[in-house]
Amino acid sequence: MKKYSELVITDLKAAAKTLSNDDLVAIPTETVYGLAANAFSENAIDKIYQTKNRPQTNPLIVHLHNFEQLPKVAKTIPKEVELLAAHFWPGPLTVVLEKSDAISTKVTAGKNTVAVRVPNHELTLALLRSLAFPLVAPSANKSNHISPTCPQHVFNSLKEDSPLILDGGICSKGIESTIIGFENHKPTIYRLGSISKEAIEAVLGTSVQLANHEVSSIAPGMQKKHYAPRTPFISCTNLQEELKKYPNKKIGVLFFTENPLAKQMLHYRILSSSGCVEEAMANLYKMMHELDELELDVILSELAPEKGVGASINDRLTRASS
């Protein structure tokens, strides 16, 4: 097994060469680290599914370096997408469009739509510009682990299967992209992420619905529990009451902000001392990883205020909850 120090690189040429040989490279983005492969190579795409133990039914997001490349991967581009891309790209917004013939159904898990975005990370944009193909890049962790927001998280999750990791520091946004689709010409958010519903509505000038994954299969991979630590994890609205249920247990608490209860706790993290939802979002996975490593009996977490990206934080906390 290779050591961490042998896998972490900053050399874009080495990363590009590896990808051109149909091998994988973990890449930094503003959301989380991605496990990247040539989006036009079925052989390379197979390696992603194998490495992550990802179900074949869970499609991948294609990463481009600019909006102008979109016609290569998508057949039709609605006006709303032009508007959204002008505001949010490069950035953490993924759009789902009818796929072009260049995109294999291995990318889309058999669907005739493809998910696409332009990530906002200088190193990865430079890498994409140097390649003759786009990249597919799901989060660089084993399926159902917490997503990685720094190179060490990638290595800790993938271990002996870890590919080269392009070191781009800590992910600034810290949770996955927001995904929007346009089925029947109605903008619908498939996954809340680091762009809020309110911010999208402000750009489109119209209200946007949230997909109900219980009754629809438009975004495979969204129905099931996800983003879970190994330690039993419970998100709650009344922390004080919840704490009483675990006498004599080794408890960790993830506070949204400063809380007098922290004084009684041995193991805790505070997502944002000032109560800032963006800061809390950037810290979320890092602190979940940290608490998960303490061999606790249970982790309790406080929900964020349900506005802006607070709703996205709560989506992840609820999914992680066992």
Q: Tell me which residues touch Mg ion (CB under 5 A).
A: 139
Q: Write the interaction track for ligand AMP spanning residues 103-142; mark x where CB under 6 A is met and - where it is not.
A: -----x--x-xxx----------------------xx---
Under rule CB under 6 A, residue 218 binds ligand AMP: yes
Closest separation between CB of residue 160 and ligand AMP, Å?
Answer: 22
Binding segment (CB under 6 A) for ligand AMP, from list 123-131, 217-225, 259-267, 289-297 = 217-225
Residue 215: exposure state from Cβ atoms within 10 A (0-12, 13-18, ≥19)? exposed
What is d(CA 270, CA 256) in angstroms, rounded to the nearest whole number? Answer: 6
Closer of 115 and 254 to ligand AMP (Cβ): 115
Q: Which does 199 bind (CB under 5 to 8 A by kind): ligand AMP, Mg ion, none?
A: none
Closest separation between CB of residue 10 and Mg ion, Å?
Answer: 24
What is d(CA 183, CA 308) in angstroms, rounded to the nearest whole number? Answer: 24
What is d(CA 306, CA 204) in angstroms, rounded to the nearest whole number? Answer: 21
Residue 296 CB partners (closer than 8 Å, separation 6+):
231, 250, 251, 252, 267
Closer of 176 and 315 to ligand AMP (Cβ): 176
Closest separation between CB of residue 167 and Mg ion, Å?
Answer: 20
Q: Write the interaction track for ligand AMP spanning residues 166-195; mark x where CB under 6 A is met and - where it is not.
A: ----------x--x----------xx----
Q: Which of 67, 59, 65, 70 is nearest to 112 (CA)?
A: 59
Angle (CA) 106 10 281, round 5°: 70
Residue 215 CB partners (closer than 8 Å, separation 6+):
none
Where along the sequence are the contacts to ligand AMP (CB under 6 A)?
58-59, 61, 96, 108, 111, 113-115, 138-139, 176, 179, 190-191, 218-222
